[in-house]
Structure 1
Amino acid sequence: MASHRRPKPPHRAYTSALTATAAAAVALSAQTASADPAPDPNKKGVQAQIDRLYEEATQATEKYNGAKEEADTLQKSVSDLQDTAARKQEDLNTLREGVGAMANAQYRSGGIDPSVQLMLSSDPDGFLDQASLMDRLSDRQLSVLRTFESRQRALHQQRAQASARLGDLQDVRAEMGREKKKIQGKLAEARRLLNTLSAEERAKAAAEEARADRDSARTDLGNEASASGRTASAFSAAQSRVGMPYVWGASGPGSFDCSGLTSWAFRQAGVSIPRTSQAQARVGTRVNSLSALKPGDLVIMRTDLSHVGFYAGNGQILHAPKPGAKVRYESMARSGMPFMWGVRL
């Protein structure tokens, strides 16, 4: 397989997009010192609190992503069931029309056949169970009645399944709402804490992000090859997104969260993988050793498996790290997140 060197950075139009949190941090860093709040002896811990809120927001984002993926699957199932029920209803309506014509003809000739009465009955099962009726039906009539009965039962079943799926969908959408509220609350709290930092502290935080971006731009990835062609293709797609902003719940092409980047990149390679980091951790072949990783392997981070990126070579990870940051290369040793295992697809 071809080796992977760092590609050219994307167009500046992409990199100009920032998350609301990042924009807030930049704007705040431009304020004068005279606008700063009074000194606070606990200020030294504020940045740590912000980082923790970002981590909790990304964990909630993965839960939101999982719920959204489930909701999309349920929505498709509901639509399929409803379409099938509609087709079955059309078949039943056609059969009823034929029965109605038969009933009119029989009424004019002096009576309605029991088979016709059955098909016009609101309780065909109970009507059909009458022993006296069974004795009076011909084989052909009985066949028609059984067909009608079967189609009606199938229609009822289809509608019941669609109704149950709709209930599940409502529950999952409620879960999505809860996770979204949680994410927004944590990001709002992070912005509030950013407001309490001094101009000097804000400038320092902005400088650290700028340094991380500069380090990413000059990262040495080495010349190691990927394990497969499709992995190489997915990794190349991810490399083309360096500089794109982190946005929770985003899956490209102009912004990403962590698992949004990896799932998007594999889609570009024609490979479908789950949307969340926890689900991605359970596909493919597990690679337990850091030394055995190859460029393009997925890297699962944190004990709750809430972060994922691409192994980029030479001890580097390519990922969408957190709110306020951009897709970038970063030393795994300096990422601050424990490595759990790799995944090879």
Structure 2
Amino acid sequence: MGSHRRPALSGLDRSTRVTVLSAAAATAAAALAATPAGAAPQDTPATTKAKVDRLFEQAEKATEAYNKADERADTLRKQVERAKDSVARGQERINTMRGALGSLAGAQYRSGGIDPSLALVLSSDPDAYLDKAAALDRISARQAGELTDLQKAQRSLAQERTEAGHKLSELEKSRTAVARHKRSVEHKLAKARKLLNSLSAQDREGYDRASRSGRDDMPDLGGAAPSSSRAAAAIAAARSAVGKPYVWGANGPSGFDCSGLTQWSYAQAGVGLPRTSQAQRYAGRQVPMSQAQPGDLVAYRDDASHIGMYMGNGQVVHAPYPGAPVRYDPVGMMPVSSVTRI
């Protein structure tokens, strides 16, 4: 008997991940498409800064949309794998039952081909013959019932597999569209960098100080204690990631996006967090910003499209945006929407 696994459905490899085009991604990409490409001659440093901030905000929202798609694709892939295994096991059992029923059918034919009364007369042990015949009938009926049940289960599993195949087909169809939107976002981020480079050195330094300081050295974190031992372990992991690059949809260890950093950091402490910042804000108990302790997750903006880890003394560590490494920044760098204790 060979392996019960069936050949993989087309598109089940990891390349199907991050392929669902969500409405949020489309909205963000459309908004990006409407953003001016570069600094107009009349732009002031303040308006240029506002354009850059808007581009970064839109890019972060789009990244979270991709992460949601990644989770959905991964969940679907696992469901399809389980369905394939179930179908294959059911098919293997059916094949075994068919073989057994074939043998019984042959025996019944050989026995049933003779008139039962004559077979009884010819039998050297009439009692044994009757017992055997009755047992044969019972076994046949039982196995036929099992076969019927298995066939029903197989049809159900086959339907699930068909539906999963349709979903995977849709994932493949959306793949090109998502890649196109992602390229659009990256193109806008390149324009944001161009805008920043158009500022004078003094204005650029002022922008960094006012919005995202970009510290990669260890700031004074004060003496606040982490809320738990697992928070302490997550803090140590996040510190070790400082300086690693921001990477689209990455959750470590060589690169991160904002929610990927917090997810990976807590994973090193043995704690599983959801993949997106919107889901992470509800992964624990929310506390006021005034009661924040090291290890708490700080979500930003009303839609929680960005997240970082509070480190103490008004500082967070986070993965800011493409082109900027994991670093420390003031907790008030953006509007805080919630603080979550894991």
Q: So what's the TM-score if we normalise by structure 1?
A: 0.73
- Shift of residue 109, structure 1, vs aligned partner: 5.3
Equivalent residue letter for 1:314 = N
Describe the superposition over 1:249-284 as per-residue Cα deviations: whole angstroms up to 9, x where unpaired: 111111110000000111111111101001111111
Identity %, equivalent residues: 40
For structure 2, which runs of at least 5 residues remain unmatched after alignment? 1-37, 115-135
**Where does residue 67 of structure 1 map in the other structure?**
69
CA distance in 2, matches of 1:279, 1:177: 27
Higher relative contact order (CA 8 A, sep 6+): 1
Matching of residue 340 in structure 1 with residue 341 in structure 2: no
Indicate if the aligned counterparts of 2:315 and 2:329 stay in contact, CA closer than 8 A.
yes
Indicate if the aligned counterparts of 1:64 and 1:180 stay in contact, CA closer than 8 A.
no
**Where does residue 311 of structure 1 map in the other structure?**
310
CA distance in 1, matches of 2:336, 2:195: 33
Matching of residue 295 in structure 1 with residue 278 in structure 2: no
CA distance in 1, matches of 2:139, 2:64: 59
CA distance in 1, matches of 2:138, 2:107: 21
Indicate if the aligned counterparts of 2:292 and 2:339 stay in contact, CA closer than 8 A.
yes
Describe the superposition over 1:128-181 as per-residue Cα deviations: whole angstroms up to 9, x where unpaired: xxxxxxxxx954432222111111111111121222233334445656654443
**Where does residue 153 of structure 1 map in the other structure?**
152
CA distance in 2, matches of 1:260, 1:226: 21
**Residues 107-256 of structure 1: pairs in structure 2 closer than 5 A:** 107-108=109-110, 138-172=137-171, 178-192=177-191, 194-195=193-194, 201=200, 205=204, 215-256=215-256
- Shift of residue 186, structure 1, vs aligned partner: 2.1
CA distance in 2, matches of 1:218, 1:197: 25
CA distance in 2, matches of 1:199, 1:220: 32
**Where does residue 85 of structure 1 map in the other structure?**
87
Aligned length: 282
Indicate if the aligned counterparts of 1:230 and 1:269 stay in contact, CA closer than 8 A.
yes
**Where does residue 274 of structure 2 map in the other structure?**
274
**Where does residue 104 of structure 2 map in the other structure?**
102
Equivalent residue letter for 2:301 = R
**Where does residue 24 of structure 1 map in the other structure?**
none
- Shift of residue 203, structure 1, vs aligned partner: 8.5
Change (3 A) 1:111 1:285: farther
Change (3 A) 1:39 1:301: closer
CA distance in 2, matches of 1:215, 1:314: 14
Q: So what's the TM-score if we normalise by structure 2?
A: 0.73
- Shift of residue 227, structure 1, vs aligned partner: 0.9
**Where does residue 321 of structure 1 map in the other structure?**
320
**Residues 15-94 of structure 1: pairs in structure 2 closer than 5 A:** 40-42=41-43, 44=45, 45-94=47-96
The 3-state SS of whatever aligns with 1:217 is coil
For structure 1, which runs of at least 5 residues remain unmatched after alignment? 1-36, 113-136
CA distance in 2, matches of 1:272, 1:98: 47
CA distance in 2, matches of 1:78, 1:198: 48
Describe the superposition over 1:53-90 as per-residue Cα deviations: whole angstroms up to 9, x where unpaired: 22111101111111111211111111111011101101
Describe the superposition over 1:225-246 as per-residue Cα deviations: whole angstroms up to 9, x where unpaired: 1111111101110111111111
- Shift of residue 291, structure 1, vs aligned partner: 1.2
CA distance in 2, matches of 1:257, 1:305: 14
- Shift of residue 310, structure 1, vs aligned partner: 0.4
The 3-state SS of whatever aligns with 2:146 is helix
Indicate if the aligned counterparts of 2:91 and 2:154 stay in contact, CA closer than 8 A.
yes
Change (3 A) 1:177 1:285: farther
CA distance in 1, matches of 2:248, 2:202: 24
CA distance in 1, matches of 2:40, 2:157: 66
- Shift of residue 96, structure 1, vs aligned partner: 0.7
Change (3 A) 1:278 1:180: farther
Deviates more, 1:266-275 or 1:99-108: 99-108
Change (3 A) 1:163 1:214: closer
CA distance in 1, matches of 2:300, 2:188: 25
Change (3 A) 1:76 1:295: same
The 3-state SS of whatever aligns with 1:300 is strand
